[in-house]
Chains A and B, each alone.
Chain A
Amino acid sequence: MRKSAVSILILCMVLNLTGCWSNREVNDIAIVTATGLDLTKEGKFRLSLLLAVPLLIGTATSQGTGTTELAASAGWLVAEDGDTVMDAYRNLQQKLPRKIFFSHNRVIIIGKQLAAQGMVQALDFFQRYRQSQMKNFLAISETTALELMQFQPKFEKLASEVLVDEFDQQVLLSVRLVDFLNILQSQGVEPAVPMLEIVSSGKGQPKNKGTNLSVSGTAVFKEDRMIGKLNSSLSRDLLWVLDSLKEGVITIDVEHAQRKGKISAELEKVDVKRKIEVSGGRVKLKLKVKVAANIYENTSSMDLEIPENTQLTIHDLKQDIKARIERTIKYVQSNFNSDIFGFGQTMYRVRPSVWKSQYRERWEAVFPEVEPIVEVEVRVLRNGLTNKTIKLSEVNP
């Protein structure tokens, strides 16, 4: 008893004397909030880090109410080149007075050039390094990563927060590092990663007035190389196929009413089920889409109280969704021949023996021929706060 107490005491003292090894104070670290990777013309990696500057972020200072000015941005962008990511990181570290700290990194942005060259060389570091987070979101920059990170946010103090918020809202395809790596190493599926660009904050405003981040499309990969891009609207439709659509609005034209107009439906619940059928060498993919939607805008004169009209609307919604899905699949099949939907993986999961014996080796040839069969089921839950639409005093003959 006493012996152990004494030994603990001695242990404590000795440990203190020899110093604290892993010890790094909060003020000795440079907190990375976003990481960017580019390929330079010399073939080197350019690592750009968005560091948070605590003093600029901190709430009201201790001086009291005097100056609580909001710094425009609390981020500090630094960048350095190197032969490997680790090398660039080392070079950067040498220039910084504080220790780079990765654990709070949220986003990894890859420049377009690098993505086209292959991502694996860049990502190994992030899987291996102790401080890196597998849950970091991945994004491809329309230009270079460095340029994208120069974006100056208005609501938030750090660009990374804007990014994370966008990803978290799940209105766009969000790919975490772990997902990307998993897809990369799985059979019958290729990665797709969102692409970002800086745009002016409102239509019709000049770019220097204020900027915003926006999703410009989706990068389509083959293995770890980016081979092409889906534009913005196709990117949204891609979410249908991947069953990662959580919210959204569909707008359809109303042709049958007296006063023509549009109906917008807000999606409340979307569920996509896949079924794969192999018959006589042809692969058919059944997509069963179940949608629950609320109609929140109706600019036509159609009276939604009448069941036939509702049926009509539902029919139009179905057609619209079906067209979107088919269009997307066709586009990818014909332009990229890269199975970003994971049809092959679906087959592997459901019928592993068929996949392994017949398709694994020649999936590239089969994929463009896969025939999508889309079945859509739509339920309209609510019509919003009103029943009838706004009526103009029309002269009825």
Chain B
Amino acid sequence: MNMNRVQISKYELFSLIILFQWGTTIIFGFGANAGRDAWIASLISTGIGTLLILLYVLIYRLGGDRTLAEWFTYAFGKWLGAPLSWLYPLVFIYNGARIISDIRFLLPVTIMNRTPDWVIGITFLAVVVYAMSGGIEVLARIAAFTLPFLLLAIVLEMILLGASRSLHYVNLLPIVGEGWGRIWETVWPLGIMQTYGESIEFALIWGYVSQKKGLAATASFATLFAGFFIALLGLLTIAGMGEAVFQQMMYPAFALLKLSKIRFIDNLDALGIVYLVINAFIKLSMHLYAASLCIQQLTAAKKIRPVIFVVAALALLLSLTMVVSFTEHLQVAMVAVPYHLWLPLYLVLPMIVLAVLPLRNWIAGRKL
């Protein structure tokens, strides 16, 4: 089927999905609006998010192993499909630009004050471009290589916090004390769209997976796994500092790490930042690589490398110009984007495609 020699194993896909979904969510914390019930919101989002991932796999299988770039032209025909397909790489670039902004804002206020943010953005992007030029294989392997270390780090952090007597589980009570309203508000649409809806990018790389058989199972298990850890981290954060402070902190996970202290092991801030940066790295690489792949397939370009450079440059430009302040940056993420951009692209359009596909398949079958 796929003549490409590039292949990634199921484990590599698994880790790629996990790191992608952790992404910046792990930096900003999940669902501060839900207060101490953020972890519940996170679990619910994960459940629904898994369904979303399954939807993407399903379309891939029903559509005769077509990638995201080919869905729309197949389902709606050339005239309607092509413009729709072009929307996706643009959104991916926009998402990438947002990640660059995240990093640009995160590092100066935490460990690198006074370093110009464009330097951070450019150096970060340089590494990302280098990784992307190695293709999906390299990205997947980096993810697979780092995942065990990241998991180990979470376990270590739990031990550290526990040992420094910083976790007070009563802070989690009462569970759902303020009702389901605020939970649901975080779940829909931001919680689902940001972390899980973005996984639509994987619809471009299903084809690279060496074994197609357990694709759906791997993808959904990875999603559940990632979601579990996001919830766990939320749980720890709330237990560590209580609802009010959790909601006030810009980077709760970072603040949580700062609370840990046993004897001489103290102030692991910078390591925490590195931890966050590697998640952002995978996420940004995936965003931009997905955009590049999409554009390459849409333009039938032979080489992906020039596309990568263009995409990366666009993302950087966009990031440096689109927002000025961090508050603005967050505001856009919370309000405008989920409804106007992500919801239609990640949910509505794929649903329509899913609805149209059987019809299309039937027509295609008759033509033969």
Contact = CB atoms under 8 A, between A and B. Distances in A.
A263 B351 CA distance: 77
A21 B108 CA distance: 11
Given A21-B116, A349-B174, A186 B242 contact: yes
Interface string B106-138: 000111111110010001001000100100000
Contacts of A7: 126
B241 A178 contact: yes
A186 B244 contact: yes
B176 to A, nearest CB: 8
Nearest to A104: B267
A103 B258 CA distance: 10
B115 A134 contact: no
Report the contact-size class of chain B (Cβ under 8 Å from the partner).
20 to 34
Nearest to A15: B119
A143 B248 CA distance: 32
Nearest to B123: A11
B261 A181 contact: no
Contacts of A181: 242, 244-245
Contact of B130 (A4, A103, A350): A4
A22 B173 contact: no
Given A134-B259, A185-B244, A348 B177 contact: yes
B255 interface: yes
Report the contact-size class of chain A (Cβ under 8 Å from the partner).
20 to 34
B126 A134 contact: no
B173 A127 contact: no
Nearest to A5: B130
Interface of B is mostly: helix
Nearest to A133: B258
B170 interface: yes
A352 interface: yes
A21 B245 contact: no
Contacts of B240: 178
A323 interface: no
Nearest to A274: B170
B173 A134 contact: no
Given A182-B171, A182-B244, A185-B244, A21 B114 contact: yes
Given A11-B123, A182-B171, A22 B113 contact: yes
A22 B259 contact: no
A118 B240 CA distance: 25
A223 B122 CA distance: 47
Given A22-B115, A134-B241, A352 B109 contact: no
B243 interface: yes
Contacts, number: 71
A184 B133 CA distance: 52
B360 to A, nearest CB: 43
Interface in A198-221: none
Interface in B12-43: none
B146 interface: no
Interface string A88-126: 000000000000000100000000000000000000000
Nearest to B165: A170
A349 B166 contact: no
Given A127-B248, A130-B109, A348 B115 contact: no
Interface string A150-187: 00000000000000000000000000101101111110
Contacts of B130: 4
A135 B244 contact: no
Given A7-B126, A134-B241, A181-B244, A21 B115 contact: yes
Contacts of A257: none
A10 B181 CA distance: 54
B258 A134 contact: yes
B126 A11 contact: yes
A8 interface: yes
Contacts of A134: 241, 245, 255, 258-259
Nearest to B250: A128
B191 to A, nearest CB: 23
Contacts of B113: 22, 130
Contacts of A185: 242-245
B242 A178 contact: yes
Contacts of B111: 22
B258 A186 contact: no
A178 B109 contact: no
Interface in B211-246: 240-245
B109 A349 contact: no
A12 to B, nearest CB: 10
B126 to A, nearest CB: 7
Contacts of A103: 267
A15 B174 CA distance: 52
B126 A352 contact: no
Given A22-B114, A135-B166, A178-B259, A349 B173 contact: yes
A190 B177 CA distance: 20
Contacts of A130: 109-110, 113
A7 B125 CA distance: 13
Interface string A1-35: 00010011001000100000110000000000000
Contacts of B255: 134
Contacts of B243: 182, 185-186
Contacts of A8: 126
B114 A182 contact: no
A4 B133 contact: yes
A112 B134 CA distance: 63
A99 B241 CA distance: 30
B177 A352 contact: yes
A118 B298 CA distance: 63
16 contacts: A11-B126, A21-B119, A22-B111, A22-B113, A133-B258, A134-B245, A134-B255, A135-B258, A135-B259, A176-B259, A178-B259, A181-B245, A182-B244, A185-B242, A185-B243, A349-B170
Q: Which 9 A/B pairs are nearest by Cβ-Cβ distance?
A: A182-B242, A185-B244, A349-B173, A352-B177, A21-B115, A352-B174, A21-B114, A22-B114, A22-B115
Given A21-B114, A21-B116, A134-B259, 5 more contacts: A4-B130, A103-B267, A178-B259, A182-B241, A349-B177
Interface of A: 4, 7-8, 11, 15, 21-22, 103, 127, 130, 133-135, 176, 178-179, 181-186, 348-352
Interface of B: 109-116, 119, 123, 126, 130, 133, 166, 170-171, 173-174, 177-178, 240-245, 248, 255, 258-259, 261, 267
